[in-house]
A and B are shown apart, each in its own frame.
Chain A
Amino acid sequence: MKSDSFAGMTHTGIALLLFLSLLISGCKALESVTQVGTSLALSQGLISESQAQSINKGATAVAKTFEDITPEQEYYIGRTVAARVVDKYKPYNDEKANHFLNVLGQTLAQASKLPETFGGYHFLILDSDEINAFAAPGGLIFVTRGMIGCCKHEDALAAVLAHEIGHIQGRHGLQAIKKSRVTSALTTLALEGAKSFGKKELAELTSTFEDSISDITSTLINNGYSRAFERDADMAAVSILQAVGYDPNGLVDMLSVMKEKLKPGGLDFAKTHPSPDSRISDIQKHIGKHAQVTSPPTRQARFEAALGKSHHRQPDRRDLKRRWER
């Protein structure tokens, strides 16, 4: 009897509750606030048990996005994306060059908005003439010898790494995963009760995992991110470079060399990134007219000593393989 006569108001009441919860608490707290709201409405007899359940269920589904992927899960996604990258491009096994890249990269990462990730930042050179760089979620970053060849000085290489750190900081890789997969992974997670997964759940989750990895690698390697994400990573790079004391014109210098080297229709940055010219024009809106980067002689010397070889001559692979394996 009561529920019939209150039917019209119930909807208005629920709508108001939801609106208020959004207004006051923002999306993050939507779930718990909605639950408090619905249980209150329920206790007042404004809505039925099944209505309450469906409201709570709806709010839960809304809140499951890439942001619900924990740093720990991001870490496992990143490791597998990285394994896919080194499946396509072999590592360049020069310990000295890779160590230099890691010191430079860590220095930059500390100046980012996300200096701490679950497994930390790690960097590796890929033995390829192709002009490319990749950031796997969680902080595993790769640059090809071809990309290092576009860097005349340390400030330019710092710009390349800072741009990749920008993609990690923005969690762009995770956003390449189709939304339906994120929801399905978190649903399987929710169904799972015991300490370890049952066979069926594990198989289901592994298949979602595999598809998520493919979403990311096809974006990194074939399709590229959106123009907005690339701009975001370039802007992050500029602020990281400035915070450490590098000249953000390093990014412009690198892009100018890249512009000369990229072959139209190439399968590298030509395919996955906006044109160097359009990136340069966006960057210059922030840092002003281009000024030649002047690296202090000691900085230039150490840069050449560490990486000069990587783009001038092919190393003796057997020797380097031994060094890497040691």
Chain B
Amino acid sequence: MMNINKTVMMIFLVLCLTPVYAFGQQMMSVQVKSGDVRSAPSFLGAILAKVSYGDRLFVHEEKEAWVKVSVPGKKAEGWIHSSALTSKIIMLQAGASDVKQAASSSEIALAGKGFNKQVEKEFRDKNPSLDFVTIDKMEKISVSQSDIQDFLKAGELSPKGGSK
């Protein structure tokens, strides 16, 4: 009786302590609408590639809040801020079995499920007086990295360790 218990415990411990990366190169997913892969671990780095929601990237190195990645099938490596990434797999077009799997796992996220565009539309139909046009316009306001650099310079602002 105790032997069985001990065996279970041993197998269990070994499984728990086996690092995930032992099974292959570590990958992460892009969890923002669109992200930039840069030449340096800073927002000042030149943009080398654009990545989109759900893209899987190879992880090579981490430096503070920045992660060195590469896009599968492409040679170039670059840096992306860790807040744009998740360790989960994002299913862009989930089928029934994926949904079932995602419901019982914290390793998978489904794109376009839960509170989504369809739910927003249903909500808007029920609340036609709400002003989403202003919100759409607000989201379109964009600021370029050179706007930010000019702003820092003209305001005599010097970020700690450069712009992170």
Contacts and interface: CB of A to CB of B under 8 A. Distances in A.
Asked whether A and B interact, the reply is: yes
Interface stretch (A13-21, A258-266, A275-283, A310-318): A13-21
Nearest to B53: A72
Interface residues of B, number: 73
A210 B155 contact: no
Contacts of A17: 8-9, 12
A243 B122 contact: no
Nearest to A28: B106
Contacts of B151: 103-104, 107
A229 interface: no
B83 interface: yes
Contacts of A72: 31, 53, 111-112, 116
A99 B109 CA distance: 35
B43 to A, nearest CB: 5
B152 interface: yes
A49 interface: no
Interface stretch (B55-63, B69-77, B132-140): B132-140
A179 to B, nearest CB: 16
B42 to A, nearest CB: 9
Nearest to B132: A83
Given A24-B16, A44-B4, A119-B33, A76 B103 contact: no
Interface of B: 1, 4-5, 7-9, 11-13, 15-17, 31-33, 35, 43, 53, 65, 81, 83-84, 90, 93, 95-96, 99-100, 102-107, 109-120, 122-123, 126, 129-132, 134-135, 137-139, 141, 143, 147-148, 151-152, 154-160, 163-164
Contacts of B81: 115-116
Contact of B123 (A46, A63, A80, A192): A80
Interface of A is mostly: helix
Bin chain A's interface residue count: 35 or more
A21 B118 contact: no
A155 B131 CA distance: 32
A31 B105 contact: yes
Given A72-B112, A86-B135, A110-B43, A116 B155 contact: no
Given A9-B1, A102-B141, A296 B155 contact: yes
